Structure 1
């Protein structure tokens, strides 16, 4: 009876997660597009539901909710379903919709979709060859073979996003990095933009008048007969065409300049608004957060470097370690096990909420940046693939943030993977991503004033 009640609870939560994924799909991703393929919506919502269920099971593990046998069963069931979706269902439908957009392959869509899926499986399987991700005793058909490869892709994505976010967040929040923009700067740029637009209009008028004169001259010369009339008509037409070509080149150059001036004007307006916003209470709060995250970024880069150089992986979760330091060095006495459980629950909850929120925001921005009416179905499926792998890898890495008594079930469910490898791999990719982001933002920040002066 207990197992049945636990299963009803899990099923109800999955239905709620599915509904949230469905609403997010309709209200955010596809609000500007007509939904033509409901299978895409179902696959996206199912991936989201089972991804969130893994985080729910982690929280249930810490709280001790449901029976241990029920949790283990639903861990296994959830893991098998999410792997089935990520490795078999989503790649197949990606190939199917890619083939559907190619007219020459319309008659054999299913065949070519299967070929795309087999190609994916080949590279997916070969991905695990260079990495020490499994214990040697695992067979080729074990579930660990699938989890380990999904983990490599997901951890790489997590590290790339984390590295960029750790650098971009303080750069975005801190008023220190804002350019000093005044109203006179904006007015001067707007004046230049208006002058450029006036020049474009005047030159287009010249083009229209020249074409009209050429047309009228051609009609007059058509009335003239004889050899000299023909020669005069040809030479005048060539001269007029050359003038039109030169003027059109000038118009094209001015239009490109006007686009650059317009974008620079919008950028200055946005910077001016950010300067005004930074003076408000909320702006000062985010500025403080920017300094906090900058310290966190430096610390994270430093620790990643230390872990890589000394080949170090933490054995104790951060909460328990922090409480032990407090007890041993500050002499404060309290129940380490009790408080580590509750603080770990809060910490894991914050990690889960911020991970889901951050990934959904990133997916939405990415979708609107590259989607079109033809490619939208394929892009949504790719985002579903990224989302599923990201969340599976989050569970894999979150294992280290859990106390030992709760960590064992995750280890048992995921199998005997080389967990230390994933943490080291995360540190390497995070460090590369963070340093690359620092270089990119430095060059972009340095180039912005030079560009403004040039315009």
Structure 2
């Protein structure tokens, strides 16, 4: 292919990926919110396009698409642009929108304060790489603005996010998809909880009526006492008796209010329990479908993968071990030397690598976008939506740069040459060890949390019987 054709291919890809990020932004993230600043939409779409371009260049490395020198130039442009966005553009705009949302800050001080926030971020971003051996000792004196320095620090944050999400996902997916973890729930259980909820609401209404009547009677009694305050003799005796009755009534009123507060809290717990039972019934019905059975089978597969990954991560940490050979080459060597298959190593190495990297790319993009969408819906509002989207773009940029760092190990040596040259003299083995450590912590913590959540017996019956 000529340079002109290579350029058209890259431009077409950039336009497609940018349009995909733009549509995702409009249809998913801001479906329920007004777009306050089009710059946010532009930044998100550009970051998404740059992330997809890097993954496309990895596939081009395997398939041999584009000239090698042209791919090297494209890698440099994509990575430098991503570094500019992740280190300079996105953090500055995050600071800008945070400062602009502070009501007492004047407009003339927004940009200077935004610049101060960005400098604050830059300081901690630089310091995050100091404790870690991310760059070879011979390159520790590299200039501050070198690509290695930026990528090394982005890799630390991105690999941490990737490992946390991977550890939780490897444990949570089997938990939510396998029928063995589903609570046995019937419609009778739902009707029982709903009946208890209605009875509790009736008790709350009755007690609130009594409180209203007692407060009205107490008000009327105070009015009578004020009219009789000038009387003496026998009226003073009656007044003392009325005062004692008023104190007793106030004590009963306080007790009723305490009971109402407890019943309201109990009703909220019953409501949550009813919602969870409805959700569980829907999951049980879904598990009987063909789709549910398919995902149940995938749950067993991912359970085995999760146990294997925890085991191998523990071995890697204990023995300070990092894989030297990619999985594709290792698998083909086993097939040729151990099994005795007569296959074309170069042919199958290219095609299997393409399939493996393609699956990683698709699942990474899909998984991250789904996670970001759920996160956005959970915490965003009309005022914070711009800041949240910029944070998601920041995480996305760091995540995909780190994916390139880790994915390099899944490629045969002949396909990772240009990637290694572009990324620089980094300690790639450190990132794999760091991923294993964070993954192990995340997976074990998720197992403990989900175990406690699954074993926690509902206490609605005991709470209801107390009333």
Per the normalisation by structure 2, the TM-score is: 0.92
Distance in 2, matches of 1:452 and 1:8, equals 65
Q: Given the alignment of the two structures, is residue 152 of structure 1 paired with residue 161 of structure 2, yes or no?
A: no
Q: Deviations over 1:296-346 (max 9, x none)?
A: 111111111111122211122111210110111111101011111011111
Q: Greater CA deviation, 374-383 or 229-238? A: 229-238
Q: Greater CA deviation, 126-135 or 12-21? A: 12-21
Distance in 1, matches of 2:462 and 2:399, equals 43
Give the corresponding residue for 1:136.
Answer: 137
- Matched position secondary structure for 1:105: coil
8 Å contact kept, 1:319–1:401: yes
Distance in 2, matches of 1:341 and 1:255, equals 64
Distance in 2, matches of 1:96 and 1:418, equals 35
Q: CA deviation at 1:205?
A: 1.9
Give the corresponding residue for 2:112.
Answer: 111
Give the corresponding residue for 2:121.
Answer: 120
Q: CA deviation at 1:391?
A: 0.4
Q: Given the alignment of the two structures, is residue 184 of structure 1 paired with residue 188 of structure 2, yes or no?
A: yes
Query: Aligned ranges for residues 53-452 of structure 1 at < 5 Å?
Result: 53-107=53-107, 108-138=109-139, 139-141=142-144, 142-217=146-221, 226=230, 243-447=252-456, 449-451=457-459
Q: CA deviation at 1:408?
A: 0.6
8 Å contact kept, 2:270–2:460: no
Distance in 2, matches of 1:453 and 1:247, equals 22
Distance in 1, matches of 2:74 and 2:24, equals 25
Rate the CA distance shift 1:2–1:454 in 2: closer, same or farther, 3 A: farther
8 Å contact kept, 1:306–1:312: yes
Per the normalisation by structure 1, the TM-score is: 0.94
Q: CA deviation at 1:369?
A: 1.3
Q: CA deviation at 1:11?
A: 1.9
Q: Greater CA deviation, 182-191 or 194-203? A: 182-191
Distance in 1, matches of 2:79 and 2:225, equals 83
8 Å contact kept, 1:99–1:106: no
- Matched position secondary structure for 2:342: coil
Structure 2 gaps of 5+ residues are: none
Distance in 2, matches of 1:72 and 1:160, equals 31
Distance in 2, matches of 1:72 and 1:206, equals 80
Give the corresponding residue for 2:33.
Answer: 33
Distance in 1, matches of 2:231 and 2:156, equals 80
Structure 1 stretches of 4+ moved >6 Å: 228-239
Distance in 2, matches of 1:332 and 1:452, equals 62
- Matched position secondary structure for 1:314: coil
Q: CA deviation at 1:39?
A: 1.4
Q: CA deviation at 1:215?
A: 4.6
Distance in 1, matches of 2:27 and 2:352, equals 35
Q: Greater CA deviation, 204-213 or 89-98? A: 204-213
Distance in 2, matches of 1:46 and 1:235, equals 76
8 Å contact kept, 2:18–2:46: yes
- Matched position secondary structure for 2:138: coil
RMSD between aligned alpha carbons?
2.1
Q: CA deviation at 1:237?
A: 7.2
Aligned residues: 454
8 Å contact kept, 1:155–1:426: yes
Rate the CA distance shift 1:376–1:236 in 2: closer, same or farther, 3 A: farther
